[in-house]
Structure 1
Amino acid sequence: MIDISRTLNADTPTWPEDEPFSYDLTASIADTGSVNIGQFTTSCHTATHIDAPFHFNNSGLTVDQLPIDLYVGRVLVVDVTTKQRITPEDLALIDLQGVRRVILKTDTWPNGAPFPTEIPELDARLGSFFHEHGVELVGVDLPSVDPLDSKTLDTHHAFEANDIHILEGVTLDGVEAGLYHLSALPLKLEGADGSPVRAILQEI
């Protein structure tokens, strides 16, 4: 198994406007006589996470409404490390027959690196391209499928319009392109716009 999740701690890079991750021990065994009890605070979009459509669409599905089978099953990791803009033409020769989940490997945000100032751009036409090929989940080793300063979130909306869901912030250091088994289940957060996940690849 390969852990493709970013570690959550006080040094985890976050979106500039978001709540940084913090964990505090609110009661210790010395206090309770039996257990340690902690609490954490964070944004739903810190480190490795999924976006629910409600994140960018007031009428979109929330995390608890998403079909969980999206996040478990065979996935194709595709190497796009040479691309600064990823288009349908770049993926035209990739065999997507029977592929329901795709993760795009850009290698532009290594694990442990600061929050990036710019990232490769995903062409919004990928929404219809992936839909035509039966892909329902797209993951990236980036904090977003749109440019970091985007307000229109064209690719987010194109993905939603084509019934494609989003996994962001995975870390693919040392992961080769190819087929794997993915597990990246979100927490069952009622009404939430996103959720951290523990994302795992298993060689098959």
Structure 2
Amino acid sequence: MTDAIDINIPIHGEMLHWGRRPTFEMVEQIVDGYASDVSRWLIGAHTGTHVDAPSHFVPGSTTVDQIALDSVVGPVRVLDLRHVEEEITAADLAAAGAEGAARVLFRTRNSTDALTRAEKSETWVGLGPDGAAWLVERGVLFAGIDYMTMEAPANTATWPTHVALCGAGVVILENADLSSVEPGDYLMVCQPVPFAGREAAPAPTVLLPLPA
């Protein structure tokens, strides 16, 4: 029996997506006389629960296969930010208890609203630039959110939050389902698919109780 919490969203053809929807084809099928079922998927690197590596916005920076394990495996603090309407600020982070955490996950209203929809919402909650600067100043290694972008809606033309986080080497997790996760400290295991030289990849992630 395990107390692990799966915070991944399933990948399927009708899912919430950025860009093209994922598709698949059956290469071999048992019903056609083959020994096993074999499928082939066409998905973007930013599909489902995934990480953005620093090279997503900083050419020549760390790619997804170069991310240090210390960034994606270790204690993580889930912050209760469900009251935020659209943009998480530095003051919000401080009030939620982010001080001293090396890795943070933002539980917002997205988990029970925007993340549950098949199409992109008109509004969602994202991290504002001053919130990103607050994290960078404190040496945070990893930040995750419960929507398909860390950016707040008003900033998706210039992407200042991504620029700040990627520029500081912070790994970003997007599309995390935190709807059943209580705020507090956990042990996180996040394992991005090591796409060599790429800027992002699906990243199966689980939360576990911290060792006593």
Shift of 1:192: 1.4
Instruction: Check the 8 A contact 2:56/2:166 in 1, yes or no.
Output: no
CA distance in 1, matches of 2:98, 2:171: 20
Quick one: structure 1 residues 95 and 66, their matched pair in 2 at CA, closer, same or farther if it must change by over 3 Å? closer
The percent identity for this pair of structures is 27
The residue that corresponds to 1:193 in the other structure is: 199
The residue that corresponds to 1:140 in the other structure is: 145
**SS of the residue aligned with 1:108?**
helix
* Matches for 1:1-204 after TM superposition, within 5 Å: 1-15=4-18, 18-29=19-30, 33-84=34-85, 85-93=87-95, 94=97, 96-97=99-100, 99-110=101-112, 111-114=115-118, 115-148=120-153, 150-204=156-210
TM-score computed with the length of structure 1 as normaliser: 0.89
Which ranges of structure 2 fall in alignment gaps of 5 or more residues?
none
Instruction: Check the 8 A contact 2:54/2:167 in 1, yes or no.
Output: no
Counterpart amino acid of 1:106? Answer: T
Shift of 1:109: 4.2
Note the aligned Cα RMSD (angstroms): 1.9
CA distance in 2, matches of 1:32, 1:62: 41
Residues 108-153 of structure 1, C-alpha deviation per residue, up to 9 Å, x if partnerless?
Answer: 2435323322212422122331133331100000111113461211
Shift of 1:33: 4.2
CA distance in 2, matches of 1:95, 1:158: 18
**SS of the residue aligned with 2:78?**
strand
Instruction: Check the 8 A contact 1:50/1:197 in 2, yes or no.
Output: yes
**Matched positions, count:** 201
